[in-house]
Chain A
Amino acid sequence: MDLLDNLALGFSTAFLVQNVVYCFVGVLLGTAVGVLPGIGPTATVAMLLPITFNFEPVTALIMLAGIYYGAQYGGSTTAILINLPGESSAAVTALDGHEMARRGRAGAALATAAVGSFIAGTVATVALAVAAPPLARVALTFGPAEYFSLVLLGLIVSITLARGSALKALAMIALGVLLGTVGQDIYTGTPRFVFDQRELYGGIDFVSVAVGMFGVAEILRNLEKEQTRTAVVSKVRNLWPTREDRRRIVGPILRGTGLGAALGVLPGGGHVLASFTSYAVEKRVSKRPQEFGHGAIEGVAGPESANNAAAQTSFIPLLTLGLPAHPVMALMVGAFIVHGITPGPNVITDEPALFWGLIASMWIGNVLLVMLNLPLIGIWVRMLRIPYQVLFPMIILFAAIGTYSLGFNAYDVYAIAFFGILGYVLIKCGCEPAPLLLGFVLGPLLEENLRRALIISRGDPSVFLTRPISAVLLALAVAALVVAVLPTIRRRRETMFTEED
């Protein structure tokens, strides 16, 4: 039983004291930023990335992963209690969850979200453990041509999942790839686009781009219309769902888990798509569709499970192919690289303790989240009273310190301001920042594999089409592009996302 041996190795790593402690710190911070609107997990992970450089690699990754799925959890709490989704994927939960809270059933909604998330997290962690090794074995046979096509597919798929115009998303990806070329060329060492500034030779730091686009730009958005946050919080009583509730949530939790686990693998925001899809499915299969939007417990159970399952399985492309499916994953790629590990199919064989330890820690993290969330709900709600006037100077200051400490390079700090403004203007024009970030991280991989594939094929570009796996991946990329541009689907996407606003 390989799987059991591997899981045993994983748990023995994850149960080391420092790993449990930092897993706890991670999910705690994650829940906090999930609860607080205005800071997302991407900006938080970006700010904390430099701090984790002194840790053991596995500890660092466990904590960063904890922030990511902890935020998915925390987002649902505020969605239910004050109709303010802290994370985009929790927007669906707000529809029925807040309605339940208004009818005095906040406790049942919160418990359903917690139980659903826990079950989904557990199942998806097992799915990850089962699916990752075979996938990694396939990926090991990939040459540069296959990698190029795979990265291209990953980039294109991320458009179909971003809200708004596909054309703009495509342009954002390409812009990200372009910005990724700044710095020394990998093959010839020629410094590109550095304006003779030695500080730019290493390229633009990814953390600066992430903090600028997701931190500074978001703060500027929030400062557009300042208003005192009025948190009218419903009283939480009767935490446990009734027998009738329990009967009604079993189906949605299981369906949501399956959907989420499958959709989470898609790059670019699979967890958002998963919760929307699950909501639509539950509404369709329900015998009481008219209750949806008026406090149907299925509308909380399904999407919450889907969202959490997707958060776990989105680690599959990262751990097997080295492809980030979410901006936070992109930051984790950075964390891997800083610790001298190349994320990809080799991680399982070269660093088994790290790989399985990370997976096992996710299950531990899910247990910790249930313990953190249900009894401590009052504390999270109180956090909403922190005025924004304290919060945003803290984000800016910590972001500046964090990016400076990356390499004691003032240019990394200037870059925050630059990307903050660029991101703000582009977001205001209806361009989403996430595709740009994915493009920025994957761009160098795209270039490296393109050039390497062409060297191996002696300059013959048909290599991408004559190698079967590469050809299939490119065909999928073209299909994804067509789907993204096709009007009917775009219309459906628009209606899906307008519910979010």
Chain B
Amino acid sequence: MERRRSLPDVLAGGIFVLIGGAFVVGSLGYELGTPLRMGPGAFPLLVGATVAALGLAIVIKGLVAGEVVSFGPIPWRAVAVIVLAVMFFGFTVRGLGFVPTSAVTALLTTLASSRVRPLTAVAVAAGLTVAATLIFVVGLQLRIPLWGPWLGF
């Protein structure tokens, strides 16, 4: 494998440093305790520092002799649409109820593919909503109201 400066390595290392560092800062706010009786902050501090240190090592290695990983294109549309769809589900399922939330989530998700035709999207969303209702609410007796209070029921 060819080794040279690698942007993905630096990015991955950066993420580790960032998350590890955030946890270290956070854990300093909790009681650290003594080795005999470790407080809630001690273990996260230790592991957070480890993550940050490993991240730093990955960054340095990425600058000197990184792994060549082909990063490839990012499907921005899919990323945005799927995040939106999942957030929508979490936010509205209690208020709108199972059926409308599932339908909108499914419809949004189908739009993640750049090749989808509007009619197909509606058909897929309708089919999935019916299937999900049958499987989860009718079959598995999931206790989520089909239509929620926001709709005046």
Q: Which residues of A contact B (CB under 8 A)?
A: 51, 54, 164-165, 167-168, 170-171, 174-175, 177-178, 181, 185, 187-188, 190, 192-193, 216, 219-220, 223-226, 388-390, 392-394, 396-398, 400-401, 404-405, 408, 410-414, 416-417, 420-422, 424-426, 428-431, 443, 447, 450-451, 454-455, 458-461, 494
Contacts and interface: CB of A to CB of B under 8 A. Distances in A.
B120 to A, nearest CB: 7
B124 A178 contact: no
Contact of B102 (A171, A177, A401): A401
A421 B79 contact: yes
B90 interface: yes
Contact of A190 (B31, B50, B136): B31
A220 B12 contact: no
A389 B119 CA distance: 13
Given A187-B38, A421-B79, 10 more contacts: A167-B57, A181-B44, A187-B40, A190-B31, A220-B78, A394-B131, A396-B86, A401-B136, A417-B83, A451-B43
A220 B109 contact: no
B36 A400 contact: no
A410 B86 CA distance: 10
B97 interface: no
Most chain B beta-carbon neighbours within 10 Å: one of A396, A398, A410: A396
Given A167-B54, A224-B74, A430-B69, A175 B38 contact: no
Contacts of B26: 192-193
Contacts of A413: 86-87, 89-90, 93
Contacts of B136: 401, 405
Contact of A178 (B8, B20, B67): B20
7 closest A-B pairs by beta carbon, nearest first, are A459-B36, A413-B90, A429-B12, A185-B40, A171-B54, A410-B90, A429-B8
A181 B43 contact: yes
B124 to A, nearest CB: 5
23 contacts: A167-B54, A168-B12, A171-B12, A174-B20, A174-B50, A181-B47, A185-B40, A190-B40, A192-B30, A389-B116, A393-B112, A396-B105, A396-B109, A397-B109, A397-B128, A400-B86, A410-B91, A413-B93, A428-B69, A429-B71, A443-B47, A459-B37, A460-B35
B15 interface: yes
Contact of A389 (B23, B74, B93, B115): B115
Nearest to A227: B115
Contacts of B11: 425, 429
B8 to A, nearest CB: 4
A411 B90 contact: yes
Contacts of A398: 132
B96 interface: no
A188 B40 contact: yes
A314 B85 CA distance: 36
B70 to A, nearest CB: 9
Interface of A is mostly: helix
B47 A178 contact: yes
Contacts of A401: 89, 102, 132, 136, 142
Interface string B97-123: 000001001100110111110001000
Given A224-B73, A430-B9, A396 B20 contact: no
Nearest to B38: A451
Interface of B is mostly: helix
A305 to B, nearest CB: 31
A428 B82 contact: no
A22 to B, nearest CB: 13
A393 B1 contact: no
A454 B34 CA distance: 10
A430 B57 contact: no
Nearest to A494: B1
B75 interface: yes
B61 interface: yes
Interface string B16-48: 100110010011001100111111110110011
A220 B75 contact: yes
Contacts of A412: 90
Contacts of A181: 23, 43-44, 47
A405 B101 CA distance: 14
A430 B12 contact: yes
Nearest to B98: A401
Nearest to A431: B12
A399 to B, nearest CB: 8
A389 B124 contact: yes
A178 B105 contact: no
A389 B110 contact: yes
Given A226-B114, A414-B86, A397 B102 contact: yes
B85 A223 contact: no
B121 to A, nearest CB: 8
A401 B132 CA distance: 8
Given A396-B85, A405-B142, A410-B90, A454 B38 contact: yes
B128 A429 contact: no
A362 B114 CA distance: 42
Contacts of A51: 140
A151 B16 CA distance: 22
Given A178-B44, A401-B132, A455 B57 contact: no
B130 to A, nearest CB: 12
A393 to B, nearest CB: 4
A209 to B, nearest CB: 14
Contacts of A405: 136, 142, 144
A175 B23 CA distance: 10
Contact of B55 (A165, A171, A421): A171
A357 to B, nearest CB: 23
Contacts of B50: 174
A178 B41 CA distance: 12
Most chain B beta-carbon neighbours within 10 Å: one of A175, A216, A459: A175
Contact of A450 (B43, B54, B114): B43
B93 A165 contact: no
